[in-house]
Chains A and B, each alone.
Chain A
Amino acid sequence: MSPEKMVHMANQIATFFRTQPGDDQADRIASHFKDFWEPRMREQLLDYVAHGGAGLDELVLKATKRL
């Protein structure tokens, strides 16, 4: 998928979990990626992060370290 679309989708997930209580938001975002994103999509995300991850929410960046 286009990087813009992927960044948009990933950031939407982060936006929801940011509002949730607790301090495990990054873990929960990572779980969401593992539960619902097909490995190809996660690879694309990780690859994108490896190339700088421009535009990604910081919580997404944190979550990708747990993938």
Chain B
Amino acid sequence: MTSSTMVLDDRDMGTPAREGAPVTLTIDGFEVVVPAGTSVMRAAAEAGLSVPKLCATDSVAAFGSCRLCVVEIEGRRGTPASCTTPVAEGMVVRTQSDKVRRIRKGVMELYISDHPLDCLTCSANGDCELQDMAGAVGLRDVRYKPGENHYDPSATGARSQAEARLRMPEGEANPRYIRKDESNPYFTYDPSKCIVCSRCVRACEEVQGTFALTIEGRGFDSRVKAGAGADDFFASDCVSCGACVQACPTATLKEKSVVEFGTPTRSVVTTCAYCGVGCSFKAELNGDQLVRMVPYKNGKANRGHSCVKGRFAYGYANHKDRILNPMIRDRVDEPWREVSWEEAITFAADRMRGLQEKYGQKSIGVITSSRCTNEETFLVQKLARAVFGNNNTDTCARVCHSPTGYGLGQTFGTSAGTQDFDSVEHTDVVIVIGANPTDGHPVFASRLKKRLRAGAKLIVIDPRRIDLVRSPHIKAAHHLALRPGTNVAVVTAMAHVIVTEGLFDEAFIRERCDWDEFQHYAEFAADPQHSPEATELLTGVPAAELRAAARLFATGGNGAIYYGLGVTEHSQGSTTVMGIANLAMLTGNIGRKGVGVNPLRGQNNVQGSCDMGSFPHELPGYRHVKLPEVRAIFEKAWGVPIDPEPGLRIPNMLDAAVDGTFKGLYCQGEDILQSDPDTKHVAAGLAAMECVIVHDLFLNETANYAHVFLPGSTFLEKDGTFTNAERRINRVREVMAPRTGYADWEVTQLLANAMGAGWTYTHPSQVMAEIAATTPSFAGVTYELLDEKGSVQWPCNEKAPEGTPLMHIDGFVRGKGRFIVTDYVATDERTGARFPLLLTTGRILSQYNVGAQTRRTQNVLWHEEDRLEIHPHDAEVRGIKEGDWVKLASRSGETTLRAKLTDRVSPGVVYTTFHHPDTQANVITTDYSDWATNCPEYKVTAVQVGLSNGPSEWQESYAAQAERARRILPPAAE
């Protein structure tokens, strides 16, 4: 790299860091102090002395195979490998001597004897550790005569490429030569370049935990192999996380983008814009050409790992569908007209003000984006509150984690996960409930699996047999395959076991929680009607299994609960969140490493958008708009009065639109028509509005009903911050100029100013300064601090100047933790003769939510359509075979998709993903919602499934409407 922005020291230290008592040793005359258990190789690296190495890299345990890293140690015989030799007190090490130099040179000579020397045209040229090591050991000659090798016969030799071509032996095949495997869309595997260091195999096992790779053959025949038999990379179990590519020291595993664009020359640290894990990446570029994304080792969420989306699925940024010019139209049945920014903004501002004059101040609102930065989100809610003069602001967290906000707010006093991701390394028993981390939060899943392989126990509570239940070297101790909609009954039954068997942590509860409330709760939980035996018929979970799981959680050491939308997206979503909080308090699993309540957030900035006051009832920092002292802070900062009444939530906005009192919407980076439930109702609401402004990268489904389209910028094109599921505030850095001319925060400012706001921000850091000045949990956050520390977790203020990795250490934010009675109430969404099956929904690894981004990348190769998972028994009685088109109908609507027969779902339950707009999964979902927050009940819909001939009438009319709505007039002749 010739230049880098904010890359802190991320050298490869050779072997992983260790924790232990300090040990002092001498290496090449320098005194070094390192933790016990550290390798000599790492100790040398700490001292700035690098020992040559090939098979060692600090993401995986030392292997000791290449023998390049040999050293001499006083008082020890021979030349031990520094990677596998732990330090000892007083040890004296020499990394350079005639003896080790001779050995290293000999080792390199052997490696090079079977390595094609097409270095100048090799894709790893300039980025090859084999090349570097040949230099470092001073290899000047290879004495071996040509012999058996693995070369491509058309490209052998140490001569020039052209000469090699000329001398190419015609018609001579090399039986050992294996062709490049190009089956993966993002990287190639070239066996002829392989030095069999096993780094890829070990990365796949240790870092990713998929075990897709192995070394096939023995001795000279050894080569890396993906999967088994005739598998290539694509057909194997490989999940394309890229850990192997990153680990490879040669060109054997290489990003296709590097093959195409060459070695990157500059690097910028930034944050992934997919899921709530919030991985840090180095964006590596040539000029403004992004060459590759490499997970950043100093990223505290991901520790150098990534998934297929973050590392590879960025191609949407340059996809031809991207809209780069603002567009307007008077009516949604007209084609779009491309106009200047000024014309579009004036058109939008005039319409919105006009609506307020005609229909009242509260007739318009905003939806902030959980995909955009904190700064952008803050400005959009400020637009509603300070410029529109109302609290009509909401965000997509409404439809995912709003029950987390309510539930954890009520029990603990703040709406946030209690831990950092590192905490999982200290956990002994993990409950995963209503989450599918290997697909939804893959990098966290890899970290969890690593801990499980080291001995931690796992309890999965999910209607479906998710991958974590059984995958290589992982087996859940208990899988409670409950009926969708019975979370509260299961969680309360676990509490019943813990209370009645005396397994609760009385000391913790007495000290940390409200004892009276606990006693009332204990009495409630102990009621025999909540016992596993009494609820078994309802939940479908065998009582003995549930009892065993509850006992394990209560007695197995550090217990941590991780949950997702399978908890929140129910009529009783908020109640289940409270039930989970109850379980953590009952067992004393709060306030230290390895424990806690951990909501796995869906989108990259769901946490941040909630923190930033996107909800209609609360200002930034989760403070209710009714509180005059809070309003006063913002009234002073913004110079306008703040409405003390809560505004409309997304479903309420749509209801009000249908009623004719809500007329205008500015929707940034969210596709409510595809993502929100009961599509027909959403469409009716949007159609009833007179000004819908969509601010997005693509003409999404919502834009079919829009009057103004403002083109958005990707995360690569702007500065700002994202806050991940562990409350970690990470910097997003502009790695290339916005393709539309403006970053999203600038567009919001243009709109606000056209409506008379008079904002004068020139950089997002000024927005962060305003957030810090008004929001106590962000008081200490500045861009300078983020640059210095890499990231911080809120609260970050005077009390915690470097942030807060673990919450509620000495006491709950609200004071005493509150036990809340969680009575099970069956959802009104019931199966019956017409709709006998329960539909539940989820995500898949390669696609992301509505798919607007991932569908515009090669990730479609893994998942080109949504399928309906149905149990073979349910399929058989309906005459459905694998791959058949089936009609899926509920009381809301019907759609068609193809069936996939699997026993992952229990009889009576069907499952689908919602990544493709053609599927229209949300035509099926209903308007039922969480009692406290209106979070839709996506996870339970009573449906019927039957054979079908093709798309439903709705799908056809929808597709036709969408096609009409997406017409863009050709530019007028000059």
Contact = CB atoms under 8 A, between A and B. Distances in A.
A and B associate in one complex: yes
Interface string A12-55: 11011001110000000000101111111100000000000000
A36 to B, nearest CB: 6
A13 B823 CA distance: 13
Contact of B825 (A9, A15, A21, A38): A15
Interface in A1-17: 1-2, 5, 8-9, 12-13, 15-16
B645 A39 contact: yes
Nearest to B647: A38
Given A9-B929, A12-B931, A38 B645 contact: yes
Interface in B827-867: 828
Contacts of A13: 931-932
Interface residues of A, number: 21
Given A5-B927, A8-B828, A19 B823 contact: yes
Contacts of A32: 932
B931 A34 contact: no
A34 B627 CA distance: 12
Contacts of B391: 38
Contacts of A38: 362, 391-392, 616, 645-649, 652, 656
Given A8-B828, A12-B571, A13-B932, A35 B617 contact: yes
A62 B890 CA distance: 35
B820 A20 contact: yes
Contacts of A36: 617, 646, 649, 932-933
Is chain A's interface secondary structure helix, strand, loop, or mixed overall? helix
Given A15-B825, A21-B520, A37 B931 contact: no
B932 A37 contact: no
Given A5-B927, A35-B624, A35-B646, A40 B617 contact: no
Interface residues of B, number: 34
A2 B820 CA distance: 31
A38 B646 CA distance: 5
B659 interface: yes
Contacts of A39: 645
A4 to B, nearest CB: 10
B575 interface: yes
Interface in B455-477: none
A9 B139 CA distance: 77
Interface in B631-672: 645-649, 652, 655-656, 658-659, 661
Interface in B911-935: 927-929, 931-934
Contacts of B661: 40
Contacts of A2: 655
B755 interface: no
Contacts of B571: 12
Contacts of A21: 517, 520, 821
A11 to B, nearest CB: 9
B626 interface: yes
Given A16-B932, A21-B520, 10 more contacts: A1-B659, A5-B655, A8-B928, A12-B931, A15-B931, A19-B821, A20-B821, A34-B626, A36-B649, A36-B932
12 contacts: A8-B828, A9-B934, A12-B931, A15-B931, A21-B520, A32-B932, A35-B624, A35-B626, A38-B616, A38-B647, A38-B656, A40-B362
Query: Lowest 5 CB-CB distances: which A-B pairs, in order?
Result: A1-B655, A12-B931, A19-B823, A38-B648, A21-B520
